[in-house]
């Protein structure tokens, strides 16, 4: 098969029932749909066996997280391209072909992804919107302190898609909710970094790809609709812990080779201090569970960290030298137009 389109499932039977039929109907003949199951106990396996017999099932037997699950699943597949796609993604016919065509036309590109629009769960059923979705919008960038943001999403602000990002662009990352990568690159990088378990692992993967000389692109001719929050809710302390811990691991993995070891150390030290400031705010605002999440995140980072291995100043698309939180506070609703001007000038 030319492409393996792989859902990593963990207890999302209801999403498989809702979104898998459209995915199956949309894929061309040279693309295979695979469901890798991370030890689900909700009836997912029974559903696949009874209603989706044509889907290739890879039962992994346990929950290895997003990183470990995909690493184990893709090691069993032999395709030219791997597509990582969430179970809470709604697709339409023709979403995959622009991604494959872009990779054929751009052999220097190792990873690409579509635009993500928001999908709503309404009393009348699933409602597609023209609003960008939080997880990936129109492709991701990173500010100087390694706070991730997207074209079309900054902090909690999200834009309507009015065609402002309809040109393919090289960026730092695309969302793991729907990501296409060359299988050869996946093997070259050793897949996802399993220390992450979940959250920001795709940013790390895309960044490492760029440091190896590959490009990462968003291809807006492809668009999918993402529900989001299918596994962890936005207010989950566990999700907050993963985000704080993995952001630090992300910085340590990639910053030294991007800006040099000395500057990377300084920025990571600053981020640690900013994290503690956030933890203090959580405690003072009556959110002790979030305070404890930051404490656990720092303990996890110090336990898992591998140290600074690389040093250099590689050119990385999508790593900007601005401070996104400060700019967002200063510019408020004008932040998107500011970032578009910034991008055009760089």
CATH number for the domain harbouring residue 159: 3.90.550.10
Please give the pLDDT value at position 321.
Answer: 86
Pair (146, 216) in one structural domain: yes
Pair (131, 242) in one structural domain: no
* Residue at a domain's end among 194, 226, 258: 226
Pair (204, 254) in one structural domain: no
Pair (83, 131) in one structural domain: yes
* Residue at a domain's end among 186, 202, 226: 226
Tens-place pLDDT, residues 211-260: 999 999 999 999 999 997 655 566 789 999 999 999 999 999 999 999 99
Q: Are 39 and 8 in contact (CB under 8 A)?
A: no
Q: In the chain, how many domains are there?
A: 2
Classify the C-alpha dihedral 126-127-129-132 as positive or negative: negative
3-state class (DSSP) for residue 269 = helix
Q: Quick check: is 134 in a domain?
A: yes
Name the DSSP class of 1.
-
Pair (213, 251) in one structural domain: no
Q: Quick check: is 32 in a domain?
A: yes
Pair (170, 280) in one structural domain: no
Tens-place pLDDT, residues 293-344: 999 999 999 999 988 777 777 889 999 989 999 999 999 989 999 999 877 7
Pair (266, 295) in one structural domain: yes
Q: Quick check: is 344 in a domain?
A: no
| Residues of the domain holding 27 | 3-226
Q: Quick check: is 231 in a domain?
A: no
The pTM for the full model equals 0.95
* Residue at a domain's end among 182, 204, 226: 226
| DSSP annotation string for 280-313 | HHHHHTT-HHHHHHHHHHHHHHHHH---------
Please give the pLDDT value at position 346.
Answer: 66
H-only helix segments in 81-234:
97-105, 183-189, 201-211
């Amino acid at each position: 098969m030319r492409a393996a389109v792989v859902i990593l499932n963990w207890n999302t039977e209801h999403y498989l029932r809702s979104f898998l039929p459209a995915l199956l109907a949309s894929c061309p003949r040279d693309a295979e749909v695979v469901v890798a199951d991370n030890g689900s106990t909700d009836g997912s396996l029974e559903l696949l066996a009874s209603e989706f017999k044509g889907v290739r099932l890879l039962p992994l037997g346990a929950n290895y997280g997003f990183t470990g699950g995909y690493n184990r699943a893709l090691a069993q597949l032999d395709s030219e391209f791997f597509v990582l796609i969430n179970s809470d993604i709604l697709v339409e016919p023709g979403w995959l072909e622009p991604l494959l065509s872009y990779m054929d036309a751009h052999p220097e590109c190792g990873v690409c992804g579509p635009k993500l629009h928001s999908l709503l769960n309404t009393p009348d059923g699933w409602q597609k919107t023209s609003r960008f979705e939080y997880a990936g919008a129109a492709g991701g960038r990173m500010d100087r302190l390694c706070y991730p943001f997207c074209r079309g999403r900054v902090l909690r602000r999200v834009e309507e898609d009015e065609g402002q990002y309809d040109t393919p662009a090289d960026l730092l990352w695309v969302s793991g909710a729907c990501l296409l990568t060359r299988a050869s690159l996946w093997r070259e990088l050793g897949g996802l970094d399993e220390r992450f378990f979940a959250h920001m692992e795709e940013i790390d993967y895309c960044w490492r790809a760029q440091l190896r000389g590959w490009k990462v692109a968003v291809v807006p001719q492809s668009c999918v609709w993402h529900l989001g929050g299918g596994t962890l809710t936005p207010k989950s302390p566990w999700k907050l812990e993963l985000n704080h811990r993995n952001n630090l691991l992300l910085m340590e993995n990639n910053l030294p080779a991007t800006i040099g070891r000395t500057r990377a150390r300084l920025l990571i030290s600053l981020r640690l201090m900013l994290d503690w400031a956030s933890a203090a705010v959580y405690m003072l605002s009556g959110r002790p569970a979030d305070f404890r999440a930051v404490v656990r995140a720092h303990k996890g980072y110090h336990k898992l960290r591998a140290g600074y291995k690389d040093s250099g100043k590689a050119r990385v698309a999508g790593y900007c030298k601005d401070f996104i939180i400060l700019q967002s506070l200063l510019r408020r609703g004008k932040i998107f137009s500011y970032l578009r001007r910034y991008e055009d000038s760089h």
